[in-house]
Structures are given as structure tokens and as C-alpha cells.
A = this chain, B = another copy of it.
Amino acid sequence: MATIRHSVHETHGFKTHVAQAGDGPPLLLLHGWPEFWATWEPLIERLADDYRLIAPDFRGFAESGNPNPEPSDQTGADVLADDIIALLDALGLDRVGIVGHDVASFVMQRLAIRFPQRLSGLFFFNCPTTSVGNRWRAPDQIREIWYQTFHQMPYAAALVGASRDACRAHIGHFLKHWCHRKDAFDSVLERWVDNFLRPGNLQGGFNWYISANAARMAVMAGTAPMPPKITVPTRVLWGRHDPVLRSAWADVLPEHFSNVEVSFAEGSGHFVHYEEPDLAATEIRRFFASLPATPASRSA
């Protein structure tokens, strides 16, 4: 396993924790829920020889700070995008590639629209867009989206955090249900439980759902404005069997990305990077190698 270097950086009004490994062109690894930096370990192991991998925890997750520890709607995609830009500034990085999914897929789209000059390329595992529209509330999707409301309940963190068993049941449910390779997270489940039981980390994650709700509702209702098209080179590797971010939704990606290549990870669900890390690493290498070289960072 590559040596992982942990550091903490003052960013945007709070401290961002970053796990880094390797050396070379910088690749930011951006997690989803229920995840944190450690979800990238399988990719760190496979890519650290060739890239400088930078895996932050979003605000409210794992070891990063959280300026809004109570239930808050101040943790939406634009806020997290600003956090990432502040982190790049703190690290002295002009331009990076980004690999991410889930929560990060929303953040990456906002980054690409607002700060395209800071990005060499975007690599998504699964990628919901505005054009998914009312497919979010299709009859057979209803059973999959309940947690997006539950996580907004003021008592959700107390319920899930009532005991270690409760936390394991809830976090473990999603780590298994969203996987196609059902045992993918079995060996690290207790670490995940440790992480989400750290004070503030359940609410920290749930604040994403509170903050994202207005945009989610607008997408479902078909009233969300169509965002500008993203021109940053983009690669999407979509887990074929993701039960919540459906691979069928890849059909609308060209409405949002002018330069996108899409393929499917046939052995994966939601967590392609964890379920098929060999495939994921191969495709990440191939994509970023196909781009013009990422400029060196501003400082060493």
C-alpha cells in the first residue's frame, strides 16, 4: 500500500483534512455519501505510482471541520465547489484532474461550470444530471430515494447514531444495497461505522441532503434551469447495476457535456471504484493520459 500523507489545511473558514499519496500530475479524488477519503484506498493503491492523489474530506465528513454542525442547508454543491477551490489555492494547485462520484458528481458539475480553467478533466463514476428530471420519481425509483428525505429529518442523526448497531445497520445497508458486488465493503464496515460515529459526522453528511433538496425538487418537477454545457473533457464510467443512480440515465449526458465518453462497468453498482478498482484504475489512467499534460503545481 502506498504511504498516505495526512494533512490539514485552512480553507474557506474551516479546516479541510486531506489524505495524499504518490507523486506526479495531481488528481483530486472526491467522495460521496456514506464515504470519506478512505473510499479511495483501492484506487490509491493502484494509481499512486503515477499520480499525486489528493483525497479530501468534504466539510462535515470524517476529519474535516464543519462550520455548520447543526442541521443546515448551507452545504450545497456550490458551497462544496467553493471549498474545493479554496483547497486547491491552499495547496498551490492551479489545475487538477478530478475523479469522483455521488455527492461529488454534483460538485464536479458546478466546478466545471464555474471554474473550468482549474480543471484538466473530469472522471465520474455514475453521473446524475438535471436532465434526469422526473425519472427520479418513476414508480420503481420511489423505493430508492427515501433516504434523501429521511436524511433531512432533524432527528435522523440521533436515530442513526443512537447506537453502534443502529449506525452499522444504516450505513451498512447502503454500502451493500448500492453495490453489485455485495461484499465489497465487508472488510472495512467497522471503519466506516467508526467514522460516522465521530461526533458531528452523521449530521455533517445529512446536511448535504438538506442543502441539495431544493435543487433536487426542481429537477424532479422539471423546473430546474438547464445549466450551461460543460466543455471540460469528461469521462463517465457508470456502474451498470447502480440501483439509485441508474445507468439508463447516461442517455442524457450529451445534453450536459460537449466532450464526454461514456462506458459501463458491468460488474458494479454505485461504487465502481470500490467494486471494480482494477477497471476503474485502468480507465482513469487511459482518460487522463489522453488529455493535454496537466501543468505542474504552482508550488512544490
Residues 37-61 of chain A, each 1 if its beta carbon lies under 8 Å from chain B, else 0: 0000000000000000000000000
Q: Which residues from 155 to 178 on chain A have a C-beta closer than 8 Å to any C-beta of chain B?
A: 155, 158-160, 162-163, 165-166, 169-170, 173
**Contact at A159–B155, with CB atoms within 8 Å?**
no
Verify if A117 is at the interface (C-beta below 8 Å from B): no
Q: Which residue of B lies closest to A221 (CB)?
A: B139
Give the contacting residue for A137; candidates B142, B148, B152; CB below 8 A.
B142
A223 to chain B, nearest CB (A): 8
| Interchain CA distance A162-B159 in the complex, whole Å | 8
User: What chain B residues lie within 8 Å of A147 (beta carbons)?
Assistant: 146, 150
The copy count of this chain in the complex is: 2
Residues 117-152 of chain A, each 1 if its beta carbon lies under 8 Å from chain B, else 0: 000000000000000001001011011011111101
Interface size class of A (residues with CB under 8 A): 20 to 34
Given contact pairs A145-B142, A149-B146, A162-B162, A155 touches B169 in the complex (Cβ within 8 A): yes
**Contact at B142–A217, with CB atoms within 8 Å?**
yes
Q: Which residue of B lies closest to A153 (CB)?
A: B173
A71 to chain B, nearest CB (A): 13
Give the contacting residue for A155; candidates B137, B143, B170, B221; CB below 8 A.
B170
User: What chain B residues lie within 8 Å of A152 (beta carbons)?
Assistant: 143
**Contact at A159–B149, with CB atoms within 8 Å?**
no
User: What chain B residues lie within 8 Å of A140 (beta carbons)?
Assistant: 217, 221
The 7 closest A-B pairs by CB, nearest first: A146-B149, A155-B169, A162-B162, A139-B221, A146-B146, A162-B166, A139-B220
Write 18 A-B pairs (CB below 8 A) sorted by A numbering: A137-B139, A137-B142, A139-B220, A139-B221, A142-B149, A142-B217, A143-B152, A143-B213, A145-B146, A146-B147, A146-B148, A147-B150, A155-B173, A158-B169, A159-B166, A162-B162, A162-B166, A166-B166
